[in-house]
């Protein structure tokens, strides 16, 4: 029997605000954080994005960190989320922690701000993804293990899955996991070149959907063996009861029509949790808003759940697609929904599409007592993941 993996802390920052309280409030009210770029120095103002509503200097001030040209926004967002998670789990001074963090952008925001001028000393040290994770970990000074997962948009969820396995295998009692990703010109232009950015607010699963809006944020969960959490006497806020990762093995970027990888990942998560489809009270979909993802994910959801589909929504309609951070950010949203008993509603949905599931919107969002929820995150490379979070009872 593997140890049960419980959650004892979470920290979040997104376009919905700073901290769990602000995010839960906006999520419950269905307030969108997507708008015109304010902090990213892009010419492409025609693409709405979900920016964290604070500039770098403001974030530095809030955190008591020195601002400067080599200060990466990914790091700042990560530190905001990490501090909140460690505080909630009562781990402010607890040596020997492990951090697994997902990112793809890393310190790119710093590098591109200075490029192509000669880079000042130290920039190359904060650029890469691993350095970005270490800079976040260094804020606490209590981490003696760090690793970075980079599997595109499923990175943060795969970090949670890796952390779960580390605890189950007995390697560690406590692992902090999640992801951090700041907006960068690099990936805004890249996604533009893929022609999957919507000029309007994104409308996941809507017949008129025309692509995604990018977003940014960070979220960390403190995962812990149940024994350790009980021994420390810390409040348990949920259980990471199941996880699955599968490869679509179809195309570098496109998802297969029948959502094979997504189907397998969801099935594996259910099996791992020992639950059946009827136990799931809500699914937080990957739901990016691209024609391809939403149709493929809907096909997979229908294959898994048949005609017993639980309420589904994509909170990317509120935050934008926070890419490598989305898996842990949305897992945190699932925990908030379970704790406070509500279904996160999508904004911007009007037209049903036969190819897609119909998501929860403000008009049909109800209070709900949730015991088990599923959260999906799929990445380019066909890297599809799904986890199940449960109430601790």
Partner 1 sequence: MKKRITHSVKLTCQTLEVDGKRVAMAVEGESFLTSLYHAASIEYPKFFKMDLLSKVGFIASEYLLNAEGKERFQPADDRAILLFNRNSSWNADTTFQQTIDNPEEFYPSPAVFVYTLPNIVTGEIAIRNKYHGESDFILLPEMSEAAMDQAIDRAFLDPATTSVLAGWVEAISEDDFEAFLTITEGY
Partner 2 sequence: MELIDELKTKMIEALNLEEMTPADIDEQAPLFGEEGLGLDSIDVLELIVLLDRTYGIKIEDPKLGKEIFTSVRTMADYVAANRTK
Q: Which of 251, 271, 278, 364 contacts partner 2 by CB under 8 A?
A: 251
Per rule CB under 8 A, is residue 178 in the interface with partner 1?
A: no
Range 98-157, binding partner 1 (CB under 8 A): 104, 106, 108, 112, 115-116, 128-130, 133-134, 146-152
Residue 275: Cβ within 10 Å count = 18
Region binding partner 2 by CB under 8 A among candidate stretches 58-66, 70-78, 103-111, 248-256: 248-256
Q: In this structure, how many other beta carbons lie within 10 angstroms of the beta carbon of residue 309?
A: 16
- Look at the alpha carbons of 380, 191, 317, 183 in this order and tell me if their dihedral is positive or negative: positive
Which of these segments, 159-167, 203-211, 227-235, 369-377, binds partner 1 (CB under 8 A)? 159-167
Are the beta carbons of 76 and 110 closer than 8 angstroms?
no
**Could you confirm whether 321 is annotated as catalytic?**
yes
CA distance 74 to 108: 9
Work out which of 63, 119, 236, 254 binds partner 2, going by CB under 8 A: 254
117, 252, 306, 393: which one binds partner 2 (CB under 8 A): 252
> Among 62-70, 165-173, 245-253, 331-339, which window interacts with partner 2 (CB under 8 A)?
245-253
Three-state DSSP at 369 gives coil
Chosen residue from 74, 158, 290, 322 binding partner 1 by CB under 8 A: 158
Cβ-based nearer residue to partner 1, 51 or 272? 272
221's tokens: 């969960």
Stretch that binds partner 1, among 207-215, 252-260, 274-282, 346-354 (CB under 8 A): 252-260
Q: Is 46 in the site for partner 2 (CB under 8 A)?
A: no
- Give whichever of 194 and 366 is closer to partner 2, judged by the CB atom: 194
Q: Does 195 bind partner 2 (CB under 8 A)?
A: yes
Rounded Cα distance between 143 and 85, Å, is 14
Exposure of 322 by Cβ count < 10 A (0-12 exposed, 13-18 middle, 19+ buried)?
buried
Which SS3 state, helix, strand or coil, does residue 243 take?
strand
Choose the catalytic residue: 71, 321, 334, 375: 321
Cβ neighbours for 117, distance < 8 A, ≥ 6 positions apart: none
Find out whether 71 and 113 touch, Cβ atoms under 8 Å.
no
| CA–centroid distance for 239 within its chain | 17
277-336: contacts with partner 1 (CB under 8 A): none
Q: Which of residues 165-194 bind partner 2 (CB under 8 A)?
A: 193-194
Other CB atoms within a 10 A radius of the CB of residue 344 amount to 26
State how far the Cα of 321 lies from the Cα of 286, in Å rounded to an integer: 9
Residues 6+ apart with CB under 8 A from 250: 256, 260, 261, 382
Q: Which of 51, 173, 248, 294 binds partner 1 (CB under 8 A)?
A: 248
Whether the CB-CB separation of 377 and 154 falls below 8 Å is answered with yes
- Measuring CA to CA, which residue among 14, 61, 70 is closest to residue 220? 14
Only segment of 51-59, 261-269, 299-307, 369-377 that touches partner 1 (CB under 8 A)? 261-269
Can 60 be counted among the known catalytic residues? no
Q: Is 187 a catalytic residue?
A: no
Closest contact distance (angstroms) between CB of 186 and partner 2 is: 17
Residue 342, SS3? Answer: strand
Q: Is 45 in the site for partner 2 (CB under 8 A)?
A: no
Contact residues: partner 2, CB under 8 A: 193-195, 251-254
List contacts with partner 1 (CB under 8 A). Answer: 2, 104, 106, 108, 112, 115-116, 128-130, 133-134, 146-152, 158, 162, 165-166, 168-169, 171, 185-187, 189-195, 245-253, 260-261, 264, 268, 379-383
Please identify every residue annotated as catalytic.
Answer: 153, 286, 321
């Amino acid at each position: 029997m593997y140890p049960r993996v419980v959650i004892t802390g979470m920290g979040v920052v997104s376009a919905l605000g700073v901290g769990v309280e602000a995010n839960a409030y906006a999520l419950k009210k269905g307030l969108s954080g997507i708008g015109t770029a304010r902090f990213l120095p892009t010419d492409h103002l025609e693409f709405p994005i979900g920016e964290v509503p604070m500039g770098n200097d403001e974030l530095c001030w809030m955190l008591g960190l020195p601002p400067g040209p080599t200060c990466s926004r990914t790091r700042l967002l990560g530190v905001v989320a990490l501090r909140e998670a460690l505080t909630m789990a009562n781990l402010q001074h607890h040596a020997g922690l492990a951090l697994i963090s997902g990112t793809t952008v890393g310190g790119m925001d710093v590098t591109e701000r200075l490029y192509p001028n000669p880079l000042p000393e130290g920039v190359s040290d904060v650029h890469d993804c691993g350095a970005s994770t270490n800079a976040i970990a260094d804020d606490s000074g209590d981490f003696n293990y760090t690793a970075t997962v980079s599997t595109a948009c499923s990175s943060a969820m795969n970090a949670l899955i890796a952390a779960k396995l580390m605890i189950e295998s007995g390697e560690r009692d406590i692992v902090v996991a999640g992801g951090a990703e700041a907006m960068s010109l690099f990936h805004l232009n890249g996604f533009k070149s893929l022609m999957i950015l919507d000029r309007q607010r994104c409308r996941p699963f809507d017949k008129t959907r025309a692509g995604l809006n990018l977003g940014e944020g960070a979220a960390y969960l403190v995962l812990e063996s149940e024994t350790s959490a009980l021994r420390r006497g810390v409040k348990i806020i949920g259980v990471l009861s199941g996880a699955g990762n599968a490869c679509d093995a179809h195309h570098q970027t496109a998802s297969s029509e029948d959502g094979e990888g997504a189907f397998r990942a969801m099935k594996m998560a259910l099996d791992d949790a020992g639950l059946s489809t009827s136990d799931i009270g809500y699914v937080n979909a990957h739901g990016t808003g691209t024609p391809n993802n939403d149709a493929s994910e809907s096909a997979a959801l229908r294959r898994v759940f048949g005609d017993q589909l639980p309420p589904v929504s994509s909170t990317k309609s509120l935050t934008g697609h926070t890419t490598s951070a989305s898996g842990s950010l949305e897992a945190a949203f699932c925990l908030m929904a379970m704790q406070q008993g509500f279904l996160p509603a999508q904004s911007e949905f009007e037209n049903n599409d036969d190819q897609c599931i119909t998501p929860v919107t403000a008009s049909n969002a109800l209070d709900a007592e949730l015991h088990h929820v599923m959260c999906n995150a799929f990445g380019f490379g066909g890297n599809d993941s799904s986890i199940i979070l449960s109430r601790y009872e």
